[in-house]
Amino acid sequence: MRLHQPVGIWLLLWPCWWSIALASGGNPSLPLLALFALGAVLMRSAGCIINDIADREFDKQVERTRTRPLASGELSVKQALALLALLLLASAAIALHLGEVVTLWAALSLLPVVSYPFMKRISWWPQLFLGLTFNWGALMGWAAVRGTVDAPAIALYVGCVFWTLGYDTIYAHQDKKDDARIGVKSTALRLGEYTKKAVGLFYLLALSGWMAAAWLVGSAIWFFILLIGVMLQLGWQLCHVNLDDPASCRRIFVSNTKLGWLVFAAFLSVFF
């Protein structure tokens, strides 16, 4: 479940909270934020189990992942499936509580969640597919408030997809040597020396999606002022990351959890 590494929980949660902030006119319900936080913990844990079941043979061959419970043999597949069932049942209970539309979108999310671990076998762009999967909450958060999925939520979702594509490409550079050796595909290997330029483009597209979402709900000047801080942080990532140093890639990747607070503040300010 990797609860000791909460970075993934935050990265899954931020699109949900951003969407709720926009859909609620800058006055999000605290109980709703709390429910989505719990849902992020449950679904990120479920996603880790699905990923680890699918990748257990690969994980044994990668230095960073060989100690994971399934790869190391500490946990059996049957035990993992039992825990996965409990997590999905708890997640379904939250979705049902939030209404039919949210439940429908939650059910639809299972297809990309289950499919994602296999993308690295067939495509050089598994990070793009992760973006499509990991940011589903941008649609669900809006639906939880408005009862439908509208254009601002779609714009937000698209922006978040490119954000994930950028930060997860940086993350993938941690394992590029092991991935090349065992035949796993990634954008880190596909983009190679052009990674920084590509990630810069991805981040510009992310910003464009976020600005479109804010514009569609009637953005105020404060949004663009606070967005300067977001732009500076993304630029800092590109300037300071050393793609040949796994520790540097990890540090820059983790910094996106702090970026989430900046974007959240910007979306709250849309209405002020």
**pLDDT number for residue 2:** 66
**98 within domain boundaries:** yes
**pLDDT number for residue 25:** 92
Other Cβ atoms within 10 Å of 228 Cβ, number: 11
Q: Three-state SS across 151-163?
A: HHHHHHHHHHHHH
Residues 6+ apart with CB under 8 A from 136: 15, 105, 108, 109, 112, 157
**61 within domain boundaries:** yes
Q: How many domains does the chain have?
A: 1
Whole-angstrom distance, CA of residue 157 vs CA of residue 224: 19
Q: State the pTM of this model.
A: 0.93
What's the domain range around 200? 7-271
Whole-angstrom distance, CA of residue 159 vs CA of residue 138: 10
**1 within domain boundaries:** no
**2 within domain boundaries:** no
CA 35 to chain CA centroid, Å, is 18
Residues 6+ apart with CB under 8 A from 144: 20, 23, 32, 36, 98, 99, 102
Neighbour-count burial of 175, counting CB atoms closer than 10 A to its CB (0-12 exposed, 13-18 middle, 19+ buried): buried
**pLDDT number for residue 1:** 56
The enclosing domain of 127 has a CATH number of 1.10.357.140
Whole-angstrom distance, CA of residue 194 vs CA of residue 204: 16
User: Could you identify the residue written with the tokens 């039919």?
Assistant: 100
Neighbour-count burial of 244, counting CB atoms closer than 10 A to its CB (0-12 exposed, 13-18 middle, 19+ buried): exposed
**206 within domain boundaries:** yes
- Spans in the chain with pLDDT lower than 70: 1-2
CB 102 within 8 A of CB 140: yes
**pLDDT number for residue 250:** 96
